[in-house]
Amino acid sequence: MTPQALTVLASDPSLLPIPNSDNGNGNPITVGEVHLLLSDETSQTGSQVDTTLLRDGTIEVSLQPATTHPDVDGDGTPNVEDAFPTNPTESVDTDGDGIGDSADNDDDNDGISDDADPDPQDPSNSGDTLENDTDAPPSSSLSMSSTPEGSDSGLLEGGKLSGDIYVFVNSDSEISEVRFYLDGTLVKTERRAPFAFSGDSNGLLNPFDTTQLTAGSHVISAEVDMSNGVTEVLTANLTVKTPSSAPFDPVLTLTWDPNPEKEVIGYQVYFSLTSNAKENDLIFKEDVSTGKSGFSLSSPRLIYSALKDIGIEKGNICFAVKAYSNTKTSDFSEIVCDVI
C-alpha cells in the first residue's frame, strides 16, 4: 500500500473532496457536504423534489463507517472463519493442503480415505486397531493340495500347476463366507467349510481342473469374511504349465560311448519300463546307423518323445544298445535307467 493511500485512510472521511464538485466558494464539496451536492443536482436535472430541508440542515446526513460483507460467498460461514471465503461449496481445509474437505478424499491427510476412516478429521485416529489392522498379516491363506482331503497342503502363491489341484482357504479364525475369483471374475461363493474354490462333496474338496485354463499366468483371489466382521483379501499368482488338455510328453536324450571296433556299422536300441532292468527285460526298439538322419557312429545320440515314441508319460525307463557289423552283433552295453 502506498503512503498516499495510508494518508487517506488515516484522515476523516467526511473531509474527503468529491471530484468535479463546487461548494460555491471555488472549493470541491466534501463527503460531509454531500447534501449540498444532492440539492444542486435536483436543479440541474429538473427534478421537482423539494430539497429545502436537506439544504438548510433540517434533514441531517449521518456518515457511517464502511463495512464489508460478513459472508461473501453466502455459505453460512463468516469470512473470518472461512478457509475459502469466495467458494460457496468449501469452507474447511482440515489438513491445510489447499483442497477443501468437500473435494478432499483424505481430509486429515493420514493416508486413510475418508470412507474408511472412522474419524476423517483426526489424523491420530485412522481406526487401524487390532480388530481392523490394515497392516497386520491375514490370519487365513489360499492353499492347495494334491488330495481331496486337503492333506500335505501348501501355499497356492507361486504355484506351477498342471492337471487337477485342490484349492481352499486355510484359516486359524472362524469364517462366515468366502468369495472366490479367477482372474478378477467371481466364480464361487462358499458359506461352509472346507471353503473350497471348486466346492466340496461331503466335506471332500472338489478338484479344480487347471487344463481348462490357457498356459501362462493366472490369479486366484478370495474375499474372506470373518465372523468378527473383518474381511481379508487374499491373492495368489500362479502359472499353468500346460495348455488345455494336452498330455505331458517328456523328451528323452540317449547317448553312449561309441564301439571302438572299426567294423561297426550301426546299433540296435532296446528299452524297458522295468526299474533296474535285466537283459531279458529289454524290448527291441530300432536299428540306427549312418543312414538315419543326424546320427553319427562316432558320437551316438538319439532323441525320443517319451509318450509318442515309447508310450509312457511318467515312470521308469531303461535303455541299452548293441553294436553290430556285417558279420556279428556285440553284447549289450551297460543298461542305463532313469525316472521321468
- Domain presence at residue 19: yes
Written as nine digits, the cell of 129 is: 486397531
Give 47-105 pLDDT, tens digit per residue: 666 666 666 667 676 666 655 678 878 888 888 788 888 888 888 888 888 888 888 88
- Domain presence at residue 49: yes
Give 218-233 pLDDT, tens digit per residue: 999 999 999 888 899 9
Closest CA to 39 of 27, 53, 25: 53
- Domain presence at residue 84: no
Give 298-329 pLDDT, tens digit per residue: 889 888 888 888 888 778 889 999 999 988 98
Burial of 24 per CB tally in 10 Å (0-12, 13-18, 19+): exposed
- Domain presence at residue 131: no
Q: Which domain holds residue 234?
A: 140-240
Q: Check whether residue 236 and residue 255 sit in a common domain.
A: no
N residues, the chain = 340
Confidence of residue 40 (pLDDT cuts 50, 70, 90): low
Rounded Cα distance, 110 and 127, in Å? 11
CB 215 within 8 Å of CB 243: yes
For cell 440542515, the residue is: 57
Q: Check whether residue 256 and residue 229 sit in a common domain.
A: no
- Domain presence at residue 134: no
- Domain presence at residue 44: yes
Domains identified in the chain, total number? 3
* Per-residue pLDDT at 212: 86
Rounded Cα distance, 196 and 190, in Å? 7
- Residue 131 pLDDT greater than 50, yes or no: no
Q: DSSP 3-state helix, strand, coil percentages of the chain (rounded to 5)?
A: 15, 30, 55
Residue 155: CA count within 13 A, CB half-sphere: 8
Closest CA to 92 of 107, 106, 73: 107
Q: Check whether residue 257 and residue 228 sit in a common domain.
A: no
Q: Check whether residue 148 and residue 197 sit in a common domain.
A: yes
Rounded Cα distance, 154 and 147, in Å? 12
* Per-residue pLDDT at 6: 45
- Domain final position from 240, 275, 297: 240
- Domain presence at residue 110: no
* Per-residue pLDDT at 38: 66
- Domain final position from 217, 240, 263: 240
- Domain final position from 202, 220, 240: 240
Average pLDDT, the chain: 81
Closest CA to 83 of 104, 68, 110: 104
Written as nine digits, the cell of 80 is: 473470518
* Per-residue pLDDT at 9: 52
